Homo-oligomer: A and B are copies of this chain.
Amino acid sequence: MRYLTSGESHGPQLTTIIEGLPAGMPLIDSDINEELARRQKGYGRGRRMQIEKDTVQITAGIRHGYTLGSPVALVVENNDWKHWTKIMGQDPLSPEDEGEVKRKISRPRPGHADLNGALKYGHRDMRNVLERSSARETTVRVAAGAAAKKLLSELGIEVAAHVIEIGGVVSGKRDYSSLKELKEVTEESPVRCLDQDAGQKMMDAIDSAKENGDSIGGVVEVIVEGMPPGVGSYVHYDRKLDSKLAGAMVSINAFKGVEFGIGFEAARKPGSEVHDEITWDPDKGYYRKTNRLGGLEGGMTTGMPIVVRGVMKPIPTLYKPLQSVDIETKEPFSASIERSDSCAVPAAAVVAENVIAWELASAIVDQFYSDRFEALKASVEQQRKFAREF
């Protein structure tokens, strides 16, 4: 499977084309809209989330509720495009419009793609950069991920995410009786936190950051249950599944790190406390007594839950000024803004969930027979049986 996305933050619409979904898989707009709505929630978001109620249009690849096997195209319109038709229009400007629209952005914001993008593509108006580097693009990544989540779900694979740290406040509760419970509880939490007390402190930290004109980041954890063992491979470095998941996580805007299982803690513990002992049961087949390695060994799934965490830096757009330089005048200036999100971690958890879902669905579709969805299901079930009886 592969997908491309397009769209600028204030352009007419965002689009994704997904190529390689099996035929005959159920998929309807509400499967996608649900994820889009989840992405727009979350304590600490600014005004734009209220303006845009994202909904998807399916323009190809689905008929009467099922995939056709042909590329699926998903469109999310930008509702405020009508206010931007001149500034972001496709056509060359008329001389009269030129004046009106002239306000070029020459002041790069620290922590954004503005300056690097300008130096790369030669854009002296950095709107040409920020319109695409904006996290608005994650909307269609979530849309593509929603299709992937649906595929996984039909195969009995569930993906969930929760926030485990915001602005230094760490969730004290990591245990959950079932993924279903984890989903239900975190869905109710404005910061997607399983630990209600920590969740409240996170909201306090967000409020406090806002008051200070500052912003805060955090850590999200994605958990996946039900993957058959042996997805991914050790035979070549670029086929390792954890490598793909790491790349995907870091590709999310503002993410600066990723870890699996106990992650960086593995540098502090002896081997005897890091590895997961193997056991066997006539009904379940092989399994691990613990899951410190997060469901991945040798670049492959073990059959245990996948546990992967990513860290998001604080949003760089602050009320509190950061120093920068105007590229036209070369004069220093203080970069600050009037309003913004002060924390986007809860939304990022939804993005992470969907981005990880995409990689897993893609790995499954690549590895198993997948022209017909029924055959894919049977093929995955066969592998589960093979592993159980091995």
Contacts and interface: CB of A to CB of B under 8 A. Distances in A.
A179 interface: no
Contacts of A189: none
The contact size tier of chain A is 35 or more
A143 to B, nearest CB: 13
A121 B28 CA distance: 19
Q: Of A61, A113, A259, A313, which is in contact with the most chain B CB atoms at under 10 Å from its CB? A: A313
B262 A256 contact: yes
Q: Of A110, A269, A280, A386, which is in contact with the most chain B CB atoms at under 10 Å from its CB? A: A110
A271 B330 contact: no
A315 B271 contact: yes
A200 interface: no
Contacts of A165: 267-268
A341 B118 CA distance: 48
A271 B234 contact: no
A266 B218 CA distance: 7
A250 B258 contact: yes
Contacts of A16: 17
A316 B271 CA distance: 6
Interface string A202-218: 00000001001011111
Q: Of A92, A314, A379, which is in contact with the most chain B CB atoms at under 10 Å from its CB? A: A314
Interface stretch (A41-49, A146-154, A295-303): A295-303
Contacts of A194: none
A223 interface: no
Nearest to A93: B64
B111 A69 contact: no
Nearest to A215: B271
A346 interface: no
Task: Determine chain A's interface SS by DSSP, over half rule.
Answer: mixed
Contact of A29 (B24, B90, B372, B390): B90
A174 interface: no
Interface string A374-390: 11000100110011001
A336 B233 CA distance: 25
B367 A371 contact: yes
B261 A327 contact: no
A237 B219 contact: no
Interface string A283-318: 000101100011001111110000000011111101
A9 to B, nearest CB: 11
A275 B110 contact: yes
A69 B242 contact: no
A80 interface: no
A88 B230 CA distance: 24
Contacts of A270: 167, 209, 212, 214-216, 314
Given A23-B121, A119-B390, A243-B248, A166 B379 contact: no
Given A117-B298, A371-B120, A324 B278 contact: yes
A123 B23 contact: yes
Interface in A36-91: 58-65, 68-73, 88-91
A259 B260 contact: no
Contacts of A172: none
Given A113-B297, A256-B266, 11 more contacts: A4-B19, A8-B70, A19-B235, A68-B132, A69-B128, A132-B235, A216-B271, A237-B248, A237-B251, A257-B257, A264-B264
19 contacts: A6-B71, A17-B17, A29-B91, A63-B128, A64-B90, A64-B93, A68-B121, A69-B117, A113-B234, A119-B229, A120-B371, A122-B371, A122-B386, A129-B234, A214-B272, A218-B267, A240-B251, A256-B262, A279-B323
